[in-house]
């Protein structure tokens, strides 16, 4: 009887081919045995449908369409400015003997800040006081002299009056004696005596008048001296006040309420005043109230003026790291547009009770001009731009999406106001837009962060049962492909992956997960070294997909080791490490394709890792347009 060579079943993804050597009877017997084994081993296998596979579900994030009041705002970047900036400088020189505050301390108006050595200024004040006392004594002395001179004037005036009366009497007497002399009643000598007495009294009157004038001149000179002394006294008083002022400058106090900055001179330094050596001791910024200065384009100035005429404009300032804005009002508009930038500067005043704003800080400014009631609002990332204009993907009740055109009014921050195309309560897609088309099936994922790793069925950490090499585990619970023994179930054919279905067909040259070939089960990794998708284990197939395109019915037992499925193309084992093939069990001979090299049999009949030599085979061309069918292998044999 002619000898018949062993049959080999086709590897996964190849058409069924037969190899036989011998008579026609042997060939017919082999065909009958192979067909019987196929019918008994896979009663529920079905040929893959020629219809295109269903489109996979796209995970997306959605947001509801809201209807609310939206402000009409102008966005800008502003700079915080202190309402008052005071550079504290010493007004007198000397040694800085004491500092009464600490850096960064809040101070109030009148608080003591620094003390300078006051001894030199105290001495100057004492000297000014002494000069003042001396000059005041001189004034009193001069006033006494004036009083004496005034008494002399009074005395001279009294003597003048007396002598004038005597002179008038002597004149009358001289006239009377002259008449008597003419009548010869008296002697000439008697008349001459009377005339001489009258002339003497007239001279005495003239002398008295000169005395009075001299006394009056003396009084006037005394009064001038008193006035000069009084002026000296006033100068001394001014010197005293100046000395007191300089002495007060030795204690430096805060002129405003504010926040102290860094100390520029410390205790023990000598403070100099005037010239280039003038030193600043401290800078105080008044932060309550505080200003925010910002610029807006000149094109917006008419609208700002129009709304400011109706009332004060509200300004919100958003400091970095603080989601709560500070609120103020516009209090200043510059009187000219900057010709270099075409912008105009505005200032807003903030109470800054919580001290959110700090001088020199950059803040985002929102100038609110008006508000719009009942506006339809969606997140800005939901609005896409196409050839027909802006549109959004709306999630319908059947979990499919609709590509709906919309009319955008404006965008305010992270929200967009829609005037036409959406209704309140509808859901729009905000994430996962790149994979969507009209009518696509979607799955709304949770709003929280997506967890990494694999879902159940993505592969176990460890390996298969005894007799097989442990497969590289992935998070999950199913054994990895290559972790099954020769006589146990294959981890790839029976596993269900929770990842997205692969869009690539199985590789025609991929070895079976349980085949004892010289290469690992991950030899069909995609080109370019693409890493595996998160949560998808090595060798695991998409739900409902088996090697060679055959859909196993629900409830079927896992495929035997001889008909394990090849891993899906484009999927490698986690971490880039291949799963090891089982080391025990008989090899499964396969019929290689005539147009592809065998991935299971080493050339030249060299022994495979399973221990049995692989025989060379002769390829039989596959029939045209025949769908790929997975053929069962012979039952496993004990080693």
Which comes out higher in pLDDT, residue 273 or 634? 273
pLDDT tens sequence across 135-191: 999 999 998 988 888 888 888 889 888 888 888 888 888 888 888 888 888 888 888
CB 579 within 8 A of CB 512: no
Between CA 573 and CA 637 the distance in angstroms is: 29
Residue 442 pLDDT: 92
The residue extents of the domains of the chain are: 122-223, 374-444
Q: Which two tokens stand for residue 361?
A: 């800080």
Which comes out higher in pLDDT, residue 490 or 76? 76
Mean pLDDT of the chain: 72
Percent of the chain predicted with pLDDT > 90: 39
Which comes out higher in pLDDT, residue 571 or 40? 40
The residues pairing with 314 across neighbouring beta strands, listed in sequence order, are 329, 368
Q: Is the pLDDT of residue 422 over 80?
A: yes
Mean pLDDT within 306-333: 93
Residue 3 pLDDT: 45
Strands (E), 583-630: 590-591
Residue 157 pLDDT: 87
Between CA 402 and CA 410 the distance in angstroms is: 23
Helical axes 188-248 vs 119-183, angle rounded to 10°: 170
Pairing of strands 112-116, 94-99: antiparallel
Q: At 255, phi and psi to the nearest 5?
A: -85, -20
3-state helix, strand, coil in the chain (%, to 5): 30, 25, 50
Percent of the chain predicted with pLDDT > 70: 61
CATH architecture of 374-444: Beta Barrel (2.40)
Number of other CB atoms surrounding residue 563 within 10 Å: 28
Q: Is the pLDDT of residue 305 over 90?
A: yes
Q: At 138, phi and psi to the nearest 5?
A: -65, -40
Residue 37 pLDDT: 52
Mean pLDDT within 515-519: 37
CB 401 within 8 A of CB 27: no
Is the whole model's pTM more than 0.95, yes or no? no
Q: Is the pLDDT of residue 342 over 50?
A: yes
Q: Would you list the DSSP string of 107-140?
A: E-TT-EEEEE--HHHHHHHHHHHHHHHHHHHHHH
CB 9 within 8 A of CB 633: yes
List Cβ neighbours of 220 (8 Å cut-off, separation of 6 or more): none
Neighbouring C-alpha atoms within 13 Å toward the C-beta of 28: 3
Give me the helices (H) in 184-300, please.
188-248
Mean pLDDT within 288-298: 96
- The whole-angstrom distance between residue 193's C-alpha and the CA centroid of its chain comes to 124
The residues pairing with 290 across neighbouring beta strands, listed in sequence order, are 82, 350
pLDDT tens sequence across 1-29: 444 444 444 444 444 343 334 444 555 66
In the block, residue with structure tokens 């089982």: 582
pLDDT category of residue 119 using cuts at 50, 70 and 90: very high
Q: 494: closest CA among 523, 537, 532?
A: 537
Which comes out higher in pLDDT, residue 399 or 278? 399
Q: Would you list the DSSP string of 374-403?
A: EEEEEEGGG-EEETTEEEEEEE-TTSBEEE
Rounded to 5 degrees, what angle do the CA atoms 388, 390, 392 make?
115
Of the given ranges (50-59, 312-321, 441-450, 480-489), which has the lowest mean pLDDT?
Answer: 480-489
Rounded to 5 degrees, what angle do the CA atoms 454, 455, 461 make?
55
Q: Which two tokens stand for residue 24?
A: 């026609």
pLDDT tens sequence across 572-605: 333 444 444 444 444 444 433 434 333 333 444 4
Residue 28 pLDDT: 60
DSSP 571: -
**Three-class DSSP labels, 2-67:** CCCCCCCEECCCCCCCCCCCCCHHHHHHHHHHHHHHHHHHCCCCCCCCCCCCCCCCEEEEEEECEE
Mean pLDDT within 53-75: 89
In the block, residue with structure tokens 């500070």: 326
| Kind plus residue range of the DSSP H or E element containing 180 | helix 119-183
List Cβ neighbours of 167 (8 Å cut-off, separation of 6 or more): 198, 201, 202, 204, 205
Question: What sign has the CA pseudo-torsion 164, 166, 167, 171?
Answer: positive
Between CA 581 and CA 572 the distance in angstroms is: 14
| Kind plus residue range of the DSSP H or E element containing 318 | strand 314-319
Residue 275 pLDDT: 66
Residue 321 pLDDT: 87
| Kind plus residue range of the DSSP H or E element containing 304 | helix 301-310
Residue 446 pLDDT: 67
């Amino acid at each position: 009887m002619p000898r018949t060579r062993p049959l080999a079943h086709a590897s996964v993804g190849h058409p069924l081919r037969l190899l036989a050597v011998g008579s026609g009877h042997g060939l017919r017997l082999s065909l009958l045995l192979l067909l019987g084994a196929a019918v008994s081993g896979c009663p529920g296998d079905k040929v893959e449908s020629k219809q295109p596979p269903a489109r996979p579900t796209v995970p997306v994030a959605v947001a509801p369409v809201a209807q609310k009041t939206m402000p009409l705002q102008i966005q800008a970047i502003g700079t915080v400015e202190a309402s008052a900036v005071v550079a504290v400088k010493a007004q007198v020189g000397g040694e800085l003997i004491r500092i009464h505050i600490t850096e960064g301390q809040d101070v109030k108006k009148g608080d003591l800040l620094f003390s300078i050595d006051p001894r030199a200024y105290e001495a100057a004040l004492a000297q000014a006081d002494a000069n003042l006392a001396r000059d005041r004594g001189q004034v009193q002395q001069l006033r006494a002299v004036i009083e004496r001179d005034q008494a002399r004037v009074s005395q001279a005036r009294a003597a003048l009056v007396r002598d004038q009366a005597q002179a008038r009497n002597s004149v009358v007497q001289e006239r009377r004696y002259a008449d008597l002399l003419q009548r010869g009643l008296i002697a000439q000598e008697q008349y001459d005596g009377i005339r001489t007495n009258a002339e003497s009294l007239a001279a005495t009157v003239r002398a008295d008048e000169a005395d009075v004038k001299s006394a009056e001149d003396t009084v006037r000179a005394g009064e001038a001296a008193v006035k000069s002394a009084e002026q000296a006294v006033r100068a001394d008083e001014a010197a005293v006040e100046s000395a007191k002022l300089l002495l007060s400058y030795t204690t430096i106090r805060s002129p405003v309420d504010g926040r102290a900055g860094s100390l520029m001179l410390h205790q023990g330094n000598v403070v100099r005043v005037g010239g280039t050596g003038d030193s600043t001791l401290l800078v105080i910024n008044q932060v309550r109230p505080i200003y925010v200065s910002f610029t807006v384009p000149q094109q917006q100035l008419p609208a700002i003026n129009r709304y400011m005429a109706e009332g004060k404009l509200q300004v919100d300032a958003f400091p970095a790291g603080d989601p709560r804005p500070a609120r103020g009002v516009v209090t200043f508009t510059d009187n000219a547009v900057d010709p270099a930038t075409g912008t105009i500067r505005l200032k807003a005043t903030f109470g800054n009770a919580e001290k959110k704003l700090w001088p020199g800080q950059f803040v985002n400014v929102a100038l609110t001009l008006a508000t719009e009631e009942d506006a339809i609002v969606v997140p800005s990332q939901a609005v896409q731009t196409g050839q027909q204009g802006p549109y959004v993907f709306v999630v319908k009740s059947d979990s499919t999406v609709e590509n709906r055109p919309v009319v955008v009014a404006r965008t305010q921050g992270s929200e967009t106001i829609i005037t036409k195309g959406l209704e309140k309560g509808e859901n729009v897609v905000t994430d996962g837009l790149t994979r969507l088309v009209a009518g696509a099936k979607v799955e709304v994922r949770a709003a929280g962060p997506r967890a990494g790793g694999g879902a159940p069925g993505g592969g176990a950490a460890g390996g298969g049962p005894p007799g097989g090499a442990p497969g590289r585990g992935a998070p999950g619970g199913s054994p990895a492909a290559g972790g099954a023994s020769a006589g146990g179930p294959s981890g790839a054919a029976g596993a269900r992956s929770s990842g997205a279905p692969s869009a690539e067909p199985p590789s025609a040259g991929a070895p079976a997960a349980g085949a004892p070939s010289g290469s690992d089960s991950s030899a069909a990794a995609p080109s370019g070294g693409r890493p595996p998708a998160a949560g998808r284990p090595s060798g695991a197939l998409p739900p409902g997909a088996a090697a060679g395109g055959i859909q196993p019915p629900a409830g079927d037992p896992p495929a035997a080791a001889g008909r394990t499925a090849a891993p899906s193309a484009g999927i490698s084992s986690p971490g880039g490490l291949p799963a090891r093939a089982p080391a025990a069990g008989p090899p499964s001979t396969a019929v290689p394709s005539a147009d592809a090299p065998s991935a299971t049999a080493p050339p030249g009949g060299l022994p495979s890792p399973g221990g049995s030599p692989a025989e060379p085979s002769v390829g039989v061309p596959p029939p045209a347009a025949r769908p790929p069918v997975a053929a069962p292998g012979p039952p496993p044999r004990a080693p």
